[in-house]
Amino acid sequence: MPENNVRHLGVIMDGNRRWARAHMLASVMRGHEKGIDVFVDLCQWCENAGIPYLTVYAFSTENWKRSQQEVTDLFRLMRTFFTERIHICLEKDVQVVVIGNLSGLSEEDRRVIRDAEALTRNCRTLYLQIALSYGGRDEILRAARGIAEEVKAGRLSPEEITEECFEEHLDTRGVPDMDLVIRTGGEQRLSNFFPWQTTYADLWFTDVLWPDFSEALLGEALAWYRGIKVNKGT
């Protein structure tokens, strides 16, 4: 790929269920399984393109409203990834960090996540944030409550609450804001995906369903972004 100027890429991986139905598969989970395969490939594509930070929307706070069976199956896939495929991240030098409101997960799921994070802690080529049980409004509310608790305890004064202070209470503290967000599946909205961190991000939408996403399409998005930057004189 040509020289890249995206430091942090966000991806909303939409369309797994529609892909399964379009292929007349017996279960929508086949779409999610294919989606995980493409997600693993995406990590390599980002490394190929020289992108050091990647954030993906794996499971939103709204996804809890899906059927109990689908939610159960999705977390089964999650456990499979973190236990049986995490070695791929280790081999590719990908540091995995899971962010979101994990209070609703089982202790076993949280342990699996902690183990995966610990295993890849020293990886440096790609910093991968997996947004799990994540919602942008929920993140901002949790940050505001954390700040309120510090003010109540006398550790922080209202005058000390700056943008930098607020960012330190977000799930993404220490990570640069996103430059580019890609959303597959045809919808043209962020759907509660990191409203604070995408304030100045450029947005690239495609009708292609996530399981059909490719390195070539990533290249198209990056080329589009380069064009945007050139036109803006940056």
Which residues are catalytically annotated? 14, 63
Is residue 167 within 8 A of residue 153, CB to CB? The reply is no
Task: HSE, CB side, 13 Å, CA atoms: give it for residue 14.
Answer: 21
H/E element, 110: helix 107-119
| DSSP string across 64-98 | GGS-HHHHHHHHHHHHHIIIIIHHHHHHTTEEEEE
* Two tokens, residue 110: 């949280």
63, 21, 8, 47: which is closest to 201 by C-alpha?
8
